[in-house]
C-alpha cells in the first residue's frame, strides 16, 4: 500500500523547489505562490534527485557551470572559490554540450557505418577466398586426377608390354619344341634304319645302303639355345618414367595457364611518367631517353626516379599481365600502392607499398622484399609474368618461357588500390635503351 501511495504522491507533484529540496502538489504549492519570501525560490518541473541539484556547501540551486573546474556551481560559489572563473548559465553550457554531443553522435554513426562496411568487406573477402579455395581445390583435384590417369595408363601399358613379351616368349618356345620334336622324329627314323643295317648279315645290302647313314645328319645345334627366364622391364620402366616426368613437368605450365586466365589489358599512364621516359603511342612500351622532356607538371608524376604506373588500378580480385624484359641490363616491374610517394627518391620495398622484381648490373635478379632475395632463373629472363591476388594477399612473378615461379610475396594485407609498376631504369648511354613491352598472353600454345 505504501509503495502504491508513493507512486500516487509522485504523480500528483506539480513542481519541485530547489531551495526547499522537495516536490509539492498543487495544494502545498499555493504557499510558494503567496508568500513573498518563497516566491524567490527556484521552481522546476517535478524532479526525483533534488539533493544532487543543490550546492552541498551553500544549499543553493546549481544554476551555473564553471568552465575552469568543469563543475556545476551556485551563485554563492562564484563569490568564493570560483571567483574570477569562467562561469556560464547551465542552459548555455547545456546548449554547447548538446552541440558537441551532436557532433559525437554523428561521428559515432559514421564509425558504426564504417564498421558495418568493414563487416561487409570481411564477409565479401571470406566469400572470395572461399571461392578461390574451391577453385584451387578443383584445379588441384583435376591435376591430381590427370597424374593418376597418366600413372594408370602407364601401368596398363607396362602390363600389356609384359604380357605381349610373355606371349612372344611362349610362342618362340612352342616353335622350338615343335622343331625339336620334328628333329626327334627324323632322328628316330634314322636310328631305326641304322639299327636294321647293324643287324643285317647281307653285306651286299649293307654296302648298297646310303653311305650317309654312317654319319649323323646335319641338324641345328641346340646346345646354346636357351629360353630367357629373366623378365626385363627396364625399357618399359624407362618409358613409364619418361611419361610421368613429362606429365609432372607439365604441371607448372598448367598452373601458369590457369593464372593467365586472369589477364588484364594494361596501359601506361603518361601523367605518372618521369620526364625522361618515352612511351609508345599505344602506351604499351616504355624506355628511358637521354634527357628530360617538357611535360605538364602533375602531383602524380615521378620527378626523381625513372618510373611509370599503369592507368589500371585494382582493389579486389585477381589480375595478370606480362612484360617483355629481355635485352636490358636493368629494370623493375611489379605493382605499387596508389599512395606511393611520387616526389623524390622512390624506395622500392613492401614498406613503401611496392612489390617488384628488379634486374641490376651483373646481371643479378632480385625480389625487392623486406630482405632482398637473390633469384637464379634459367638463363636470361625474357618475359616476366606478374600475378596479383588482391584478396588473397599475394603477388607472384613467373618466368613465362620456362613456366617457372620465380618469387611470390605472400600473406599481404592491402589497404590501397594497386597499379602495375614499371621502371626501365636509366638509358646507361644506350646500353639499356631497350624498352619494357607489355605483351598479350599467347593462348594458342
In tens digits, the chain (445 residues) has pLDDT values of: 333 434 444 546 667 776 665 677 666 566 666 777 666 666 666 666 666 677 888 877 888 999 998 999 988 898 888 888 999 998 898 899 999 999 999 999 999 999 999 899 889 888 888 887 888 888 888 878 888 888 888 888 888 888 888 898 899 899 989 999 998 998 898 888 888 888 888 888 878 877 877 788 887 888 887 877 777 777 777 777 777 777 766 677 778 888 999 999 999 999 999 999 999 999 999 999 988 999 999 999 999 899 999 999 999 999 999 999 999 999 999 999 999 999 988 889 999 999 999 999 768 999 999 999 999 898 889 999 999 999 889 999 999 998 899 999 999 999 999 999 999 999 888 889 999 999 999 876 5
Q: What's the whole-model pTM score? A: 0.58
Distance CA 346, CA 302 (A): 9
Neighbouring residues of 324: CB distance < 8 A, sequence distance ≥ 6:
382, 383, 384, 436, 437, 438, 439
Please measure the distance between the N-terminal and C-terminal CA atoms of the chain and give it in whole angstroms.
Answer: 95
Grid coordinates of 86: 569562467
Cβ–Cβ < 8 Å for 82, 73 = yes
Grid coordinates of 308: 611509370
Q: What are phi and psi of 444, to 5 degrees?
A: -90, -20
Cβ–Cβ < 8 Å for 329, 432 = yes
pLDDT for 38: 65
Distance CA 438, CA 279 (A): 11
* Sheet strands (E) in 257-351: 277-279, 285-288, 308-309, 318-324, 331-337
Cβ–Cβ < 8 Å for 336, 418 = yes
Distance CA 34, CA 315 (A): 76
Distance CA 441, CA 266 (A): 12
In sequence order, what DSSP letters do the residues of 411-423 get, joined into one string?
S----S-EEEEEE
Cβ–Cβ < 8 Å for 37, 31 = no
CA atoms within 13 A of residue 335's CA, in its CB half-sphere = 30
pLDDT for 212: 78
Grid coordinates of 394: 599475394
Distance CA 402, CA 330 (A): 20
pLDDT for 9: 44
Query: Hunting for cell 530547489 — which residue is that?
Result: 18
Distance CA 217, CA 214 (A): 9
Strand partners of residue 319 = 388
Provide Rg for the chain, Cα atoms.
49
* 234-260 vs 90-198: helix crossing angle, rounded to 10: 160
pLDDT for 211: 80
pLDDT for 52: 67
Cβ–Cβ < 8 Å for 25, 10 = no
Amino acid at each position: 500500500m505504501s509503495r502504491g501511495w508513493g507512486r500516487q504522491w509522485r504523480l500528483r507533484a506539480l513542481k519541485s523547489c530547489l531551495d526547499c529540496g522537495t516536490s509539492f502538489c498543487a495544494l502545498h504549492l499555493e504557499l510558494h505562490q503567496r508568500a513573498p519570501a518563497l516566491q524567490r525560490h527556484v521552481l522546476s518541473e517535478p524532479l526525483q534527485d533534488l539533493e544532487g541539484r543543490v550546492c552541498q556547501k551553500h544549499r543553493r540551486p546549481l544554476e551555473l557551470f564553471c568552465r575552469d573546474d568543469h563543475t556545476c556551481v551556485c551563485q554563492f560559489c562564484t563569490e568564493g572559490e570560483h571567483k574570477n572563473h569562467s562561469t556560464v548559465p547551465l542552459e548555455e553550457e547545456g546548449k554547447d554540450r548538446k552541440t558537441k554531443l551532436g557532433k559525437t553522435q554523428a561521428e559515432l554513426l559514421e564509425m558504426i557505418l564504417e564498421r558495418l562496411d568493414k563487416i561487409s568487406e570481411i564477409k565479401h573477402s571470406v566469400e572470395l577466398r572461399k571461392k578461390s579455395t574451391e577453385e584451387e581445390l578443383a584445379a588441384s583435384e583435376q591435376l591430381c586426377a590427370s597424374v593418376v590417369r597418366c600413372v594408370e595408363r602407364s601401368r596398363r601399358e607396362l602390363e600389356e608390354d609384359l604380357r605381349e613379351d610373355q606371349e612372344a616368349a611362349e610362342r618362340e618356345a612352342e616353335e622350338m619344341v615343335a622343331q625339336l620334336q620334328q628333329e626327334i622324329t627324323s632322328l628316330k627314323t634314322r636310328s631305326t634304319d641304322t639299327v636294321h643295317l647293324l643287324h643285317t648279315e647281307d653285306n651286299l645290302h649293307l654296302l648298297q645302303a646310303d653311305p650317309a647313314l654312317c654319319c649323323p645328319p646335319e641338324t641345328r645345334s641346340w646346345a646354346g639355345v636357351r629360353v630367357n627366364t629373366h623378365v626385363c622391364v627396364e625399357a618399359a620402366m624407362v618409358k613409364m618414367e619418361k611419361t610421368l616426368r613429362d606429365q609432372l613437368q607439365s604441371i607448372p605450365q598448367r598452373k601458369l595457364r590457369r593464372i593467365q586466365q586472369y589477364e588484364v589489358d594494361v596501359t601506361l599512364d603518361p601523367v605518372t611518367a618521369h620526364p625522361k621516359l618515352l612511351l609508345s603511342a599505344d602506351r604499351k612500351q616504355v624506355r628511358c631517353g637521354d634527357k628530360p622532356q617538357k611535360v605538364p607538371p602533375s602531383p602524380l608524376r615521378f620527378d626523381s626516379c625513372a618510373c611509370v604506373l599503369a592507368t589500371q588500378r585494382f582493389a579486389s580480385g585477381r589480375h595478370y599481365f606480362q612484360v617483355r624484359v629481355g635485352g636490358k641490363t636493368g629494370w623493375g616491374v611489379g605493382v605499387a600502392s596508389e599512395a606511393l610517394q611520387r616526389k623524390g627518391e622512390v624506395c622500392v620495398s613492401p614498406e613503401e607499398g611496392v612489390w617488384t622484381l628488379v634486374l641490376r648490373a651483373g646481371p643479378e635478379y632480385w625480389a625487392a622484399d623486406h630482405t632482398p632475395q637473390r633469384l637464379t632463373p634459367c638463363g636470361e629472363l625474357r618475359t616476366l609474368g606478374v600475378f596479383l591476388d588482391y584478396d588473397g594477399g599475394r603477388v607472384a612473378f613467373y618466368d613465362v618461357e620456362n613456366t617457372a615461379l620465380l618469387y611470390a610475396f605472400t600473406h599481404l594485407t592491402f589497404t590501397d588500390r594497386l597499379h602495375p609498376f614499371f621502371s626501365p631504369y636509366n638509358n646507361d648511354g644506350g646500353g639499356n635503351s631497350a624498352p619494357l613491352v607489355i605483351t598479350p598472353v599467347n593462348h594458342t600454345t
